[in-house]
Amino acid sequence: MKIIELNRVSKSYGSNTAKVLSDISMEINRGERIVILGPSGCGKTTILRLIAGFIAPDSGSISIGGHLAAAGKRIFLPPEKRNIGMVFQDLALWPHLTVRGNIEFPLKSGGVPKKKRSEKIEEILELVGMKGLGGRKPGELSGGQRQRVALARALAPEPAVLLMDEPLSGLDVELNTRIRKEILRLHEKLGFTLLYVTHDREEAFSIATRIVVISKGGINRDKNPGLPETETGQQERN
């Protein structure tokens, strides 16, 4: 069942007439693990920002859950109405808040009652292996623990879609591998749709059920990362 659809989406920034994204079309089905693979500056993060609702496309349309979310420089469905969670490349944890406070923020913003928030925080802390650490601040945590907090904050509101923007790029190999396994475990348990951005082929192959190769603002139909190519130029693993 289709959950996200990009139809001929293009995007440029400011006075720059060169398009960051040009005529991108993509369909994402519920429960898939899609990895967008490509070099720095090719437009991968822009795709996530468009889907999240942080920016609007210059042309083309974006539909989420069967509803028109954005089209032709207009946003019809704001970020808070899209049922989407996001883990940023720099994690974007609030340093002055505790682990519990970071996780509570999207729940409070979403109007979840206080008692339910407390229950949900404890549940998600246990789920990501951070039980008992809710009172600590991000500066008191290891790199892997901060990754888990960012995951917990994104997953606490129970989003249908989780966007991840190169979240493991700053980790060493061992920790990178461990967190990848954690992402797959959470995906299997919670059933969200995953859209994951990376420039690392090994990372892509270990996570994806389907890989979309982006190059110079478009889907690259020529470069095959090793998976059978579909008619859309996307790479799929059986």
pLDDT tens by residue, 19-53: 789 999 999 999 999 999 998 888 899 999 999 99
The confidence score (pLDDT) of residue 238 equals: 42
The confidence score (pLDDT) of residue 197 equals: 95
The confidence score (pLDDT) of residue 1 equals: 84
User: Residue ranges per domain, the chain?
Assistant: 94-157
Lowest mean pLDDT among 5-9, 58-62, 111-115, 222-226: 222-226
- pTM, two decimals, is 0.87
The confidence score (pLDDT) of residue 13 equals: 85
* Residue % of the chain over a pLDDT of 70: 91
- Residue 236's pLDDT band (boundaries 50, 70, 90)? low
59's CB contacts (< 8 A; 6+ apart) are 8, 9, 10, 72, 73
d(CA 113, CA 233): 45
More confident residue, 198 or 169: 198
Choose among 162, 141, 163: nearest CA to 95: 141
Mean of pLDDT values over 97-104 = 94
* Residue % of the chain over a pLDDT of 90: 65
Residue 234 has pLDDT above 90, yes or no: no
Q: Which two tokens stand for residue 160?
A: 């249908």
3-state secondary structure of 90: coil
pLDDT digits (tens, 9 = 90+) for 183-230: 999 999 999 999 999 999 999 999 999 999 998 778 875 444 444 333
Q: Where are the alpha helices (DSSP H) in 191-230?
A: 201-207
pLDDT digits (tens, 9 = 90+) for 115-127: 999 999 999 999 9
